[in-house]
Structure 1
Amino acid sequence: MTVLKRYSHLYIQFLKNHLKMMIEYKLDFLIGMTSLFISQGTAILFIGFVFNHIQQLNGWSFYEILFIFGIASCGRAIHQVFFDNLWMIGANYIRPGNFDRLMVRPVNPLFHLVADKVNQDGFGQLLIGMIILTTAAMHIDLSFGVLEILLLLLMVVSSGLIFVAINLIFATLSFWMVDSMPIIFAVHSVSDFARYPITIYHTSIRFLLTWIVPYGFTAFYPSAYFIDHSGFQNTAIFTPLVAIVISVIAYLFWNRGLRSFESTGS
């Protein structure tokens, strides 16, 4: 409990500094928010354009797909706000020798790496995701009580943890490759497939998104729990378990990479 209290206090101090920077550079924050709105809006317009020509996509309506899209956006936002620095471990820390600084300080190096950056653009992503989720839920007549809202929050948090864990696994490769950014980017791009019903894809892609790189549990499966005709409710309930298991695997792999790290001075 003392350790948890200490790290909570430390993170709050890091967060305060980041918030001060956000207030000081308001224009950067607004530009980031605007670019996210444009990016997400373009994706939604594309989906809308497709549905101007069809009524359903393999049995899924426009607003049902928006619901999936909204959960994906909220999950990505958790990763983007609090864990965005994982992308930069190779380029900003290992390659220039800055990771040594994290190793000699009396805090967990992963905690320090994560706390070193808060990406304010992610707040825009979260806002967009919440708007999309609310709009979609209203149009597909989902009835939400307190229990359903709590379950939805659990699914969104689980989605975020899965995004983080997958990125951490591939970011850890930087301990051997110096910079694994291209691999992280390539794998993260696969998550775009999960923003749509995976039933529209070939069986091999469904298997990949479910059991190899489980991005399916970041959007489709959590959404399927709330949509009656999906037929995937039994799989969807495993979303929190998948998040826990892959997070443990990612952290163990991180520790393995940490033991292999050689300082630039070595």
Structure 2
Amino acid sequence: MKRLKFYSRLYIKMISQYIKARMQFRSDFYISTFAMLLLNITGLFTYWVLFYSINNIEGWNLNELIFLYSFALLAVTPMQLFFDNLWVIRISLRNGNFIKYYFKPINTLFYYVSEVFDIKGLGQLVLALTMLIYSSVKLGLHWTPLNIIMFVVFIFGSALIMISLALMAASVSFWVIESVSVLVLIFKLSEYARYPITIFNGFFRFIFTCIIPVAFIGYYPSRFFLKPDSVDMGVFATPFIGIGLFIIAYNIWRIGLNRYSGTGS
């Protein structure tokens, strides 16, 4: 418990300093936040275009798809907010700056990700919550205490899956310096979490469920709330998949840490 309090206080201090520094450039913050919101809204626009010509997609109507989209977006947001520094790990490794993370008596992953808090992700969080509330009202969903608890559990699991996939992709940089394409691939694949997995053929359903489980970021958890009469029991595996993937990802990270020895200069 003392260790948790220590890391919590340290994280708050580090992030507060980062936010103060970032807010010195307010124009950059406003522009980047607007760009992120526009990018996410563009994804919604695709739904509206599709529904001009069809009534549903594999039994999913427009408001159900908006719920699915917002759930997946909400699950990806913790990665955006707290782990955005993973995008530049290859640069730190290449120029030798990463070696500094070995010299502090704190967890290396914590130290590394704590240096950046992507505040423009707060705009993404607001958008996701707004769309979630809108679609819930349109669909007439009843948020019972059980549903609220399961929502929190599923979001936790889904967010952990996304974080784990990103961490594994970023850890490839310990072996292949120019590995940003792996991280880009993971984020591109995560976009499929916003669509019903039933629109894909059997091969891709298997990939998105068992190999790169992005279907558990949005589709399976959303079915619990939208289609409770036909919910797949596998949805309850979401938090366990998230925890299991994070354990694997963290161990890959640790193996990479142990092999890294700086630039040699």
TM-score normalized by structure 1? 0.95
Q: Where in structure 2 are there 5+ consecutive unaligned residues? A: none
Q: Pairwise mapping of residues 49-68 of structure 1 onto structure 2 (< 5 A)?
A: 49-68=49-68
Contact 2:99 2:261 in 1 (8 A): no
Aligned residue in 2 for 1:103: 102
Contact 1:78 1:157 in 2 (8 A): no
Deviation at 1:179, TM superposition (A): 3.2
Contact 1:76 1:125 in 2 (8 A): no
Aligned residue in 2 for 1:148: 147
Aligned length: 265
Q: Letter of the 1:40 partner, please give it.
A: N
Q: Letter of the 1:179 partner, please give it.
A: E
In 2, the alpha carbon distance for the partners of 1:242 and 1:101 equals: 32
Q: Letter of the 2:28 partner, please give it.
A: D
Contact 1:154 1:240 in 2 (8 A): yes
The C-alpha deviation readout for 1:138-175, integer Å capped at 9, x for no partner, is 11121102331232122222221111100111111111
In 1, the alpha carbon distance for the partners of 2:260 and 2:178 equals: 13
In 2, the alpha carbon distance for the partners of 1:128 and 1:159 equals: 18
**Pair 1:252-2:251 in alignment:** yes
The C-alpha deviation readout for 1:47-95, integer Å capped at 9, x for no partner, is 101001111111111111111100111111110000111121112x100
Q: Letter of the 1:204 partner, please give it.
A: F
Aligned residue in 1 for 2:217: 218
In 2, the alpha carbon distance for the partners of 1:90 and 1:10 equals: 25
In 1, the alpha carbon distance for the partners of 2:103 and 2:154 equals: 37
SS at match of 1:238: helix
Aligned residue in 1 for 2:82: 82
Q: Letter of the 1:142 partner, please give it.
A: L
In 1, the alpha carbon distance for the partners of 2:210 and 2:8 equals: 33
> CA 1:215–1:7 in structure 2 vs 1: closer, same or farther (change >3 Å)?
same
Aligned residue in 1 for 2:11: 11
SS at match of 2:60: coil
Aligned residue in 2 for 1:163: 162
Aligned residue in 2 for 1:130: 129
**Pair 1:195-2:209 in alignment:** no
In 1, the alpha carbon distance for the partners of 2:49 and 2:98 equals: 47
Contact 1:224 1:230 in 2 (8 A): no
Q: Letter of the 1:162 partner, please give it.
A: I
Q: Letter of the 2:169 partner, please give it.
A: F
Contact 2:197 2:219 in 1 (8 A): yes
Q: Letter of the 1:115 partner, please give it.
A: S
In 1, the alpha carbon distance for the partners of 2:27 and 2:154 equals: 33
Deviation at 1:22, TM superposition (A): 4.0
In 1, the alpha carbon distance for the partners of 2:51 and 2:264 equals: 58
Aligned residue in 1 for 2:36: 36
Contact 1:161 1:247 in 2 (8 A): yes
The C-alpha deviation readout for 1:103-148, integer Å capped at 9, x for no partner, is 1122111111110101111111111110111111111121102331
Deviation at 1:229, TM superposition (A): 6.0
Deviation at 1:21, TM superposition (A): 2.6
Aligned residue in 2 for 1:180: 179
SS at match of 2:156: helix
